[in-house]
Structure 1
């Protein structure tokens, strides 16, 4: 089968002098570099989130990046499900991964760190509320109704117009 993986897709991350890199290796043998990527079941939802937010990543703090990752992961779940704190582990790889996330030291030294359990709780508490299709439709309908009422009160009706 040559030197490529058979039927496997995977992501590899690394850091060099130019900064962090993320590569996807697909089952077809393609290798592509990305700013953000998701693989697996329901990954399209995570990709959608990442595509909408990737421009914020270069300036984001490590805390914010972790929150973006958890939010993208949450978006892969059906609307009736939420992330389970006990089922999630986050690995930080790269400069300063063993430092406190809120400090400048978080960007120095190449390290590896796993965050799970109670240490993830503050991030779970900050995950934005989902905008469901129903709540988005209700908000759009309310905005349309308000706009229509304002238009009707400001403009004469067709029957009121004079030639």
Structure 2
């Protein structure tokens, strides 16, 4: 991916005002396995594609717990993702010890963005080649953030990153307006449907995807961040496939036309 003399240093700007090293890091995110995040009023669901480097190896984890009230999904260089997820975990622990309260999700996303942005200002560093979907729950409700290797971060109702994520975004854009009122089960089904869109014909099973959820119960207590069991994921996938295979009922006009023996009208 070497272009010219302007991509040898992260602090070297091209005449067009571009930092090629940062662009390379963002390209690494686009080449990673797809990840999807959906947010309702009280719940957030993260889903990722599990892909192994070879048939003889296991897949690398893409979804990590940060605290009881927060978790992340990543696309890009998994080694960078593990380092940053450990950083987020330490930030949550330190804040809890000092203030005896969980770290707000917006503050968590901000600290991750600050750490990533420093790497675009130091010549002896390189940008982290990983993008994060930060999901969490605090006093203001459920939140979903996307953190970019450039140091930018944005809050979304639903978002997808990674390889072939555009088709997942298109799917989410058609339905995101109703996510505020979705139940956890509906969020999980839409997350799996979005992941299925990125597989390009490959069959969706519980072995090639990971789903995690965090939320708030009706009494106000937090449901800790947890990975959903593979058996439950497979049951959800089977129910989705059964619903798709079910025959659609004919319309009333078709039924009337089929049952009518009247002669055609003259025009």
Do they superpose with TM above 0.5?
Answer: yes
Which has a greater percent of helix?
1
Q: What number of residue pairs does the alignment pair up?
A: 124
Deviations 1:75-98 (A, max 9, x none): 11113x1112222221112324xx
Gaps of 5+ in 1: 97-103, 131-153, 157-163
Deviations 1:24-51 (A, max 9, x none): 1112221111111111001111111111
CA distance in 2, matches of 1:126, 1:23: 30
1:90 paired residue number: 211
The CA RMSD measured in Å over matched residues stands at 2.6
1:112 maps to what in 2? 225
Aligned residue for 2:166? 44
Question: For 1:110 and 1:123, how far apart are their aligned partners in 2?
Answer: 20
CA distance in structure 2 between the partners assigned to 1:24 and 1:85 by the alignment:
25
Of the three residues 228, 236, 239, the one matched with 1:123 is 236
Which residue of 2 is the match for residue 62 of structure 1?
184
Report SS of the residue matched to 1:111.
strand
Check the 8 A contact 1:67/1:126 in 2, yes or no.
no
Per-residue displacement from partner, 1:47-85 (whole Å, max 9, x unpaired)?
Answer: 111111101211111100010100000011113x11122
TM-score, with normalisation over the residues of structure 2? 0.42
Distance (Å, rounded) in 2 between the aligned partners of 1:32 and 1:89 = 23
CA distance, structure 2, for counterparts of residue 9 and residue 25 of structure 1: 6
Task: List, as ranges, runs of 4+ consecutive aligned residues in structure 1 with deviation greater than 4 Å.
Answer: none
- Paired residue for 2:142? 20
Q: Larger RCO: Structure 1 or Structure 2 (Cα < 8 Å, ≥ 6 residues apart)?
A: 2
Q: Counterpart of 1:35?
A: 157
